[in-house]
Amino acid sequence: MDNTPVREDVTASPIRPGSLGWIIGILAIILVLFFLRATPLALDPPRTENAPGQFDTARAIERLGKVLDGTPHPVDSTALDETRTRLLREITALGYTPEIRVHNACQSMGEGAIRCAFVQNVFFRAGAGDGPALVLAAHYDSVDASPGFGDDGIGMAVWLEVAHLLKQETLQKPVVFLFTDGEETGLLGAQAFVDNRESYGFEVSRIINLEARGVRGPAMMFETGRPNAGVVSDWAKSGARPFSNSMMTAVYELLPNSTDLTVFLRAGMNGVNIAISDGLDFYHTTRDDLAMLDRASVQHMGDQALGATRAFIAADWNDDATSGEIVYSDIASRVFVTLPQVFALVLLGLCFAVSAMLLVRPTRESGWSRLDWRALALPPALVIGAGVAAFALQQVFGFIRPEPAYWTAYPQALNMTIFAATLLAGVALLVWLAPKSRPEALHASGWFWFLILGMGLSIAVPGFTMIYLIPGIVFVIASAAAWLFPRYQPVAYCLASAFLALIFFPMIHLLDVTMGLGMAAMFGIVEAMVIAPMLALIGPMAAHRKPALLALGGVLGGAALVTLIMPAYSVDRPLALNFTAHYDMDESAAALFAGARPGALPAVIRDQLSVGEFKSPPGASPNLAARELTFIQRPIATATVLGEEASAGGGRVVSLRLSAAGSRAIRLRIPPEAKPLRVRYHGRLYEARPAENGSYVIDITGRAADGAVVEVTLGAEKSTDWLVQGIWPGLPNDADDLADLRPDTTVRIQMGDVTITTKKQKF
Ligand SMILES: [Zn+2]
């Protein structure tokens, strides 16, 4: 037998596996892929020409500019009246007949609060037939501070253009365009629609809702009804690039956020929710304007909404109830895969079985071998180590930097710090925990833990299955290739790792975009889970440990340094900063409060304020930076008793008329001792669910607040001290000098600057 070594291509190369060049090269590729993790999410630029029947972004934007004039248009305001008038004009110009339904609506906000307002829903019909309709929904109100071009101008722009295009088609089913009011005040328009459905004169089969939680980025499908197979499969036929996975929808379901669609789904309807969510720094702010709204996002949402609408019309809605549950995911937003939930879980189990088998028989030649305990211990050690390291790094930076969210302007720096720390921890564990472990053992153990984690998560929340199954299947194929053709093992492992990066790196970006980096430990943990299987490409680390560790240490040090020195806020990623002037009518005291945490304030403002000297307004966070204002007698909010009687259950029913001339909202804070049980507003009764040990809040927003009558049923017989608060837009004159000092790295948010009066009254 000839003993001369066979000169394979792979081993002859100067960067053969195990060489210093190979190790540094793999580490560099992993770092670069992570750095560019948002690339697969980049949208196609707006088309300059459109085929007939294709969504026209320029036309949609132009029409939106005719509906919104740049003024905030919150619920029950003059600006919203004007917006509605322009909206009705555009609908009529498209050849449709708009209708309006008005309601005095309330929504219980879970524990501790109820919000009420006067809302006016706008809708118009298209299509034919009397059967249940496909409802295409968006809301047309904005928050008080925001011009609302993204939230939810994008929804209006898209549906009006879809309405224009559908006008030229013969629709086989009834379609209703629904523009709800009061979404920002507690989904009030949607709730009123659900509560008064008979007055609208149509039934609902499916709903497509359009939303925005930012100003750019892909339009993602992030919420569905149940069962989901029918609506998701039909949505996927839209023809636009798909951005969705069942993990996203499952996680969204677990979060307390909600939009109009949540209300519709709760009422038993089925449908999908599509939203853009990048550019969260501008969400609900003064800068959610026409210039900021990304045209590529409008086109993407438009193509998707139009395509999904056509697919929904063509679908058979009768099967929805029996369609079953599927799990799904896009792959780099180019391919969309779906599987029945149970089937996917079984497949994931089979992938896991392959990884378990490889633990004890890493290669065909090796036969059944002893378990490499060190390789097996590496991934869990890395997950724990990376979580702890990310948490510790964030804490250390937090000690050095005064701003609570110092990573806001340049999130890439902290992202790279966490990722480099995780990669460094992985290599360090290769060096010290498993220095002799063979690549096959590292491959098997990395995937074993990845898949066991995926199995556990998928059993708890089935939506997770697909994002583990896709890399899991590639792992099985790659492992089979390595098993049969050992010389191509590095190529096979690279392929499996590439798929991991392709699925998970963009997802880590989305996690950052939608949830922020507040929980750095979570990012370390997810990244460790993905990096562990990749370590098979560079282990064992008997040689070259020093240069590899040094190189990664250098990257970590550089990223950490950038994280430490970059400004916390910028014009493109500003600090949300409102001012609140608070008049305590009982103490005859007034003060001006900065809404952001004191450490985050620009020096020019922080220097003029003190912390701890002034008591924050009721309900606001404690220890806000503030300064004194001249106390003056000014309009305030009051409540007058219209009637009081004993209630059947032993308590009292108190009827109050609220007044506060020119106010934006009136708020009642009822102490827990009063034991509020029910609230009646315009004839409708709402159960009060007080928060534990907290006061119960009743909010009436809009012009209807002044003169509103509320009836509260209380469990307590004795009267208690309530707080009656009035909220006015804007600040008093003696606050202007400070408010005007805000640099362009700040932005007003939600209600914007307001003046609040608080008065104690016994009821
Ligand atoms: Zn919205």
CA 112 to ligand 1 center in whole angstroms? 23
Which residues face 130 on adjacent strands?
Answer: none
CA 184 to ligand 1 center in whole angstroms? 6
Question: What whole-number distance in Å separates Cα of residue 88 and Cα of residue 123?
Answer: 9
CA 251 to ligand 1 center in whole angstroms? 19
What is the per-residue pLDDT for 407? 96
Question: What whole-number distance in Å separates Cα of residue 7 and Cα of residue 257?
Answer: 60
CA 285 to ligand 1 center in whole angstroms? 12
152 within 8 A of 293, measured Cβ to Cβ: no
CA 74 to ligand 1 center in whole angstroms? 11
CA 320 to ligand 1 center in whole angstroms? 27
| DSSP helix, strand, coil percent of the chain (3-state; round to 5) | 45, 20, 35
CA 299 to ligand 1 center in whole angstroms? 18
CA 183 to ligand 1 center in whole angstroms? 7
CA 292 to ligand 1 center in whole angstroms? 16
Work out the burial of residue 655: count CB atoms within 10 Å of its CB; fewer than 13 is exposed, 13-18 middle, 19 or more buried: middle
Q: Span 189-216, mean pLDDT?
A: 96
CA 151 to ligand 1 center in whole angstroms? 5
CA 213 to ligand 1 center in whole angstroms? 7
CA 28 to ligand 1 center in whole angstroms? 41
What is the per-residue pLDDT for 13? 55
**Per-residue tokens: 617:** 């307004």
CA 633 to ligand 1 center in whole angstroms? 37
CA 730 to ligand 1 center in whole angstroms? 23
CA 206 to ligand 1 center in whole angstroms? 20
Which letter, b or e, does each residue of 268-301 get, where b requires 16 or more Cβ atoms within 10 Å of its Cβ?
ebbbbbbbbbbbbbbbbbbbbbeebbbebbbbbb
Which secondary-structure segment (H or E) carries 107? strand 99-108
Which tens digits make up the pLDDT trace of 656-703?
A: 999 999 999 999 999 999 999 999 999 999 999 888 778 899 999 999
Q: Span 552-568, mean pLDDT?
A: 97
User: Is the predicted pLDDT of residue 5 greater than 50, yes or no?
Assistant: no
CA 93 to ligand 1 center in whole angstroms? 25
Question: What whole-number distance in Å separates Cα of residue 496 and Cα of residue 470?
Answer: 10
What is the per-residue pLDDT for 365? 83
By mean pLDDT, which of 3-12, 14-23, 423-432, 538-547 is the weakest?
Answer: 3-12
Which tens digits make up the pLDDT trace of 487-530?
A: 999 999 999 999 999 999 999 999 999 889 999 999 999 999 99
Which tens digits make up the pLDDT trace of 441-471?
A: 999 999 999 999 999 999 999 999 999 999 9
Percent of the chain beyond pLDDT 90? 90
pTM of the model: 0.95
CA 294 to ligand 1 center in whole angstroms? 16
CA 212 to ligand 1 center in whole angstroms? 6
For β-strands 676-681 and 589-594, DSSP reports them as unpaired
CA 760 to ligand 1 center in whole angstroms? 34
Q: Span 522-550, mean pLDDT?
A: 93
Which tens digits make up the pLDDT trace of 255-284?
A: 887 899 999 999 999 999 999 999 999 999
CA 330 to ligand 1 center in whole angstroms? 25
CA 141 to ligand 1 center in whole angstroms? 8
Which tens digits make up the pLDDT trace of 690-745?
A: 887 788 999 999 999 999 999 999 999 999 999 999 999 999 999 999 999 999 99
CA 63 to ligand 1 center in whole angstroms? 19
Which residues face 108 on adjacent strands?
Answer: 114
Q: Span 603-619, mean pLDDT?
A: 94
Question: What whole-number distance in Å separates Cα of residue 82 and Cα of residue 67?
Answer: 9
Q: Span 380-407, mean pLDDT?
A: 96
Rg, C-alpha atoms of the chain: 29
Which residues have CB under 8 Å from 349's CB, separation 6+? 455
Q: Span 358-373, mean pLDDT?
A: 87
Question: What whole-number distance in Å separates Cα of residue 119 and Cα of residue 11?
Answer: 72
Which tens digits make up the pLDDT trace of 219-234?
A: 999 999 999 999 999 9
Query: Which residue do the tokens 């404690």 mark?
Result: 622
**pLDDT averaged over every residue in the chain:** 94
pLDDT confidence band for 650 (50 / 70 / 90): confident
What is the per-residue pLDDT for 242? 97
CA 152 to ligand 1 center in whole angstroms? 5
* Dihedral of the alpha carbons of 339, 513, 59, 45, in degrees to the nearest 10: -80
CA 276 to ligand 1 center in whole angstroms? 10
User: Is the predicted pLDDT of residue 10 greater than 50, yes or no?
Assistant: no
Which residues have CB under 8 Å from 111's CB, separation 6+? 689, 690, 691, 692
CA 139 to ligand 1 center in whole angstroms? 7
What is the per-residue pLDDT for 15? 66
CA 496 to ligand 1 center in whole angstroms? 39
CA 153 to ligand 1 center in whole angstroms? 9
Question: What whole-number distance in Å separates Cα of residue 104 and Cα of residue 118?
Answer: 4
Work out the burial of residue 360: count CB atoms within 10 Å of its CB; fewer than 13 is exposed, 13-18 middle, 19 or more buried: middle
pLDDT confidence band for 14 (50 / 70 / 90): low
Question: What whole-number distance in Å separates Cα of residue 668 and Cα of residue 658?
Answer: 9
**Per-residue tokens: 684:** 């409708």
CA 258 to ligand 1 center in whole angstroms? 10
